[in-house]
Amino acid sequence: MADLLKQMVAQQGQSQGNNSENPGSSRGNHEGVDRALERFQKCAPPKFIGGPNPDVAEGWLERLLDIFAALGYTEERQVSYSTFQFEGPARAWWNVVKAKWERERTPWTWINFTREFNEKYLPPMVQEKREDDFIRLRQGALSVAEYETQFTKLSHFAPDLVLTEQKRIRRFVQGLNVEIQEALTAAQLNTFSQALEKAQRIETARSQVKAFHDKKRRQPCTGNSNVGQSSRNEPPTKMGRGAGGPRPAGTSNQRIAGR
């Protein structure tokens, strides 16, 4: 843990530049990393020792994705905390990868990490299956939120298809239902979060309109119902003979009796 904290502080120091004018900034960075790591550990992240079972590797990766989705950490911090959970053979493998990254100056992004992880612990057949699942993923009967959850999980098994933010947005929009795609045509989407938010707003608006029309169709016509009700309450009128129109029923009976 001490080594990890030291590494995180050094990385943050490089990104923030020289902070000699603020001698307390280094200590503040250290405390920030310490608190972030404590929050991560409170989520009970599973350890990973490696092994040939792809289901174990997938389950471990998905669990960490759920944790990071709740914490909202940066990609660099996600990679650091994920590798902190390695033990045994997995730790030895990661030390080799980390040395290669430092030598080649590879950015600590989640895409680079998942690419290395998948190549090591997921057989090619499993990777191809997950990539096909991602390519065929469509919203269908799912809500936008449910579709986004599946999209995010499967996209980690096909990092090259979402290599940039625009590729990720385009792939996400292509899987939405047609009516939402059409509503997003004129929208300017610069980030994935914008695409998700606008898709959810369109979904909510369409649901409200549909509910309004459904309620309107279920309501009976007031004028027709009153007419029908009044006609059912009034007794039937008996029609007499001749041009005089309707006459009381008793009149015709009296005349017949007189005869």
pLDDT tops 70 at residue 126: yes
- Average pLDDT rounded to a whole number, residues 70-85: 91
C-alpha–C-alpha distance, residues 89 and 234, integer Å? 91
Contacts of residue 133, Cβ cutoff 8 Å, sequence gap at least 6: 154, 157
More confidently predicted of 7 and 64:
64
The winner for highest mean pLDDT among 16-30, 68-82, 133-147, 209-223 is 133-147
What per-residue confidence (pLDDT) applies to 28? 37
90-125: pLDDT as tens digits: 999 999 999 999 999 999 998 899 999 999 998 888
133-190: pLDDT as tens digits: 999 999 999 999 999 989 988 888 888 889 899 999 999 999 999 999 999 988 889 9
What per-residue confidence (pLDDT) applies to 70? 86
- Average pLDDT rounded to a whole number, residues 60-70: 89
Q: How many residues does the chain have?
A: 259
What per-residue confidence (pLDDT) applies to 194? 93
pLDDT tops 80 at residue 254: no
pLDDT tops 70 at residue 42: yes
Burial of 185 (0-12, 13-18, 19+ CB in 10 A): exposed
**Sign, CA torsion 224/226/229/235:** negative
Mean pLDDT for all residues in the chain: 79
Write down the residue that tokens 């298809």 correspond to.
161
